[in-house]
Amino acid sequence: MPLSQERFDLVIAANRLPVDRVREGGRSVWRRSPGGLVTAMESVMSGRDGAWIGWSGVPGKAPAAFEQGGMRLHPVALSAEEVRDYYEGFSNGSLWPLSHDDIVPPTFKRRWQAAYETVNRRFAEAAAKLAAEKATVWVHDYQLQQMPQFLRELRPDLRIGWFNHIPFPPVELFMQLPARDAMLRGLLAADFLGFQRRTDAQNFLRACRQLLVDDDISVRADVVHTADGHECRAAAVPISIDTRGMAELAATAKVRERAAEIREQLGNPKHLLLGVDRLDYTKGIRHRLKALEEMYREGSLDPTETKFIQVATPSRERLEAYQHIKRDVEQTVGRINGEHSSFGAPPVTYLHRSFPRDEMAAMFVAADVMLVTPLRDGMNLVAKEYVAAHDETGALVLSEFTGAANELKQSYLCNPHDIARTKRTIVRAIEASPEERARRMRAMHRQVLRHDVQRWAERFLTDLAVAPRQP
């Protein structure tokens, strides 16, 4: 196929660009997109010469390509029907719940699957035009699982990698998906597939072995050999954050002063707890609030001494499951504050909006205990950000159902479904001695400093370059 004038040795494809087109004061402006994928890839790509293909966040015609942070951003158009069927439907109504233990029941519709395929083809065509001869194309996340196959058909010369930011479900759940074979075949056209945990890579390999029985494939160790002679390796490459960047930001006078100001505005509580999540049913916000509500009621937390900030970033707001969780969370916060506030001093501060990085850093610095309690999460970068930002006096309560729990073993691990034990874990974290907190935080500091996002990207790109061999 004809190549465009402008070609790149590294092309990133993700559902979203790092910036979203939003209306502000009657004007259209670009604003940072939500979520961990953008947090991670923004720092990986800054200073690299590459292109990023993604949706602008609004339906209709795609804006023209533009430069940002030394990167070429190429918007891909999605019609209103495609936003409904590919993004809200197949991606977030079928794949997302299926990949998160069916916390809400997934819905399957043939129309959604057709739109998913069309959009994946469009992304592949855009990448095929932008990639230089033998370039590397790095595809991201569950929204683009068929793209590797469509891209391989157009450009057999490319090195194609895919990274899954979310869990890959066990085969017993994955096999519910009517389009399961198409997803696996789509991915197998890549040279290397990266997953958050070993379990995710194993789930994928097991799904290939068990479900593609008519495809004449063979799975040897972590490599799948397909009938056409292609080989695709699948392995764990856990994602991370720009640890030094976050630590430096958190150490600035501006952020430290702001952290002190936040505590003061809350009446200088003895203990400040914090939760930061997209408002998603996977994040366990309901369970967390239930635990805290019981603790305020029973008196194991004193509402005048212990305050809780919950940041809940708006997300996928047109989907019913997200409207439900929003309603539940807001009702519970209202109830807790109704029962336990004194004048001008509610125990829970609920913030339903986006914040600049330095304000997020100030909250991390201000909080004595960070509560990260998802029911299932691919990694959870917020947990790592808290560790990077906070000094040795902090404490992290972390769900066993996050990818981060594999690495941050010195956190206070909890099972968020077990409300009684979660409550005890929160009390342990609050009451831990300074020595115990320091010991745990020091170990976690070492972990996130050693395994930062740059190292993750280098590992992924090296794995991809030498696949199907191991580096």
- Active site members: 165, 377
Measured in whole angstroms, the distance separating CA 266 from the mean position of its chain's CA atoms is 30
CA-closest candidate to residue 361, choices 389, 384, 383, 382: 389
Token pair of 321, please? Answer: 């499951």
End-to-end CA distance of the chain: 32
Residue 316 contacts which entry, ligand ADP, ligand F6P, none (Cβ below 5-8 A, type-dependent): ligand F6P
Q: To 10 degrees, what angle do helices 434-450 and 381-389 make?
A: 120
Instruction: Map residues 365-394 to x or -, x wherever contact with ligand ADP holds by CB under 6 A.
Output: --------------xxxx--x---------
- Helix, strand, coil fractions of the chain, as percent rounded to 5: 45, 20, 30
Q: Which of 460, 468, 396, 451 is nearest to 428 (CA)?
A: 396
Q: Judged by CB, which is closer to ligand ADP: 135, or 375?
A: 375
Report CA-CA distances (Å) from 206 to 147, 267, 384.
21, 54, 30
Place of tokens 């936003």: 83
- Of 30-38, 299-307, 381-389, 431-439, the window that binds ligand F6P (rule: CB under 6 A) is 30-38
Segment 22 to 61, residues that bind ligand ADP, using CB under 6 A: 35-36, 39
Which partner, ligand F6P, ligand ADP, none, binds residue 360 by CB below 5 to 8 Å per kind? ligand ADP
Query: What are the beta bridge partners of residue 68?
Result: 71
Among 354, 406, 454, 462, binds ligand ADP (CB under 6 A): 354
Q: Which is nearer to ligand ADP, 166 or 224 (CB)?
A: 166
CA 221 to CA 218: how far, in whole Å? 10
458 three-state secondary structure: helix
- Candidate list 129, 159, 316, 437; residue touching ligand F6P; CB under 6 A: 316
The entry of ligand ADP, ligand F6P, none that residue 16 binds, CB within 5 to 8 Å by partner kind: ligand F6P
Nearest to 125 by CA among 232, 2, 19: 2
- Output 42 or 222, the one with its CB closest to ligand ADP: 42
The answer to whether 257 and 79 have CB atoms below 8 angstroms apart is no
Closer residue to ligand F6P, CB minimum distance, 35 or 194? 35
Residues 278 and 385: their CA atoms lie apart, in Å, by 15
Tell me which of 42, 82, 85, 141 binds ligand F6P, using CB under 6 A. Answer: 141
Give which of ligand ADP, ligand F6P, none residue 355 binds (C-beta under 5 to 8 Å, depending on kind): ligand ADP
Strand-pair category, 412-414 with 348-351: unpaired
The rounded Cα 68 to chain-centroid distance in angstroms is 22
Instruction: Choose which of 9, 34, 63, 263 interacts with ligand F6P (CB under 6 A).
Output: 34
Residues 6 or more apart whose Cβ sits within 8 Å of residue 276: 311, 313, 360, 363, 370, 382
CB 228 → ligand ADP: shortest distance, Å? Answer: 35
Position 276 contacts ligand ADP (CB under 6 A):
yes
Residue 237 or 311 having the CB closest to ligand ADP? 311
The partner residues of 28 in beta bridges, in order of sequence, read: 23
Least separation in angstroms between CB 401 and ligand ADP: 13
The residue within the footprint of ligand F6P, chosen from 68, 300, 315, 349 (CB under 6 A), is 315
Nearer to ligand F6P among residue 15 and residue 310 (C-beta):
15
The site for ligand ADP (CB under 6 A) is made up of 35-36, 39, 276, 278, 311, 313, 354-355, 360, 379-382, 385
The site for ligand F6P (CB under 6 A) is made up of 15-16, 34-38, 141, 165-166, 315-316
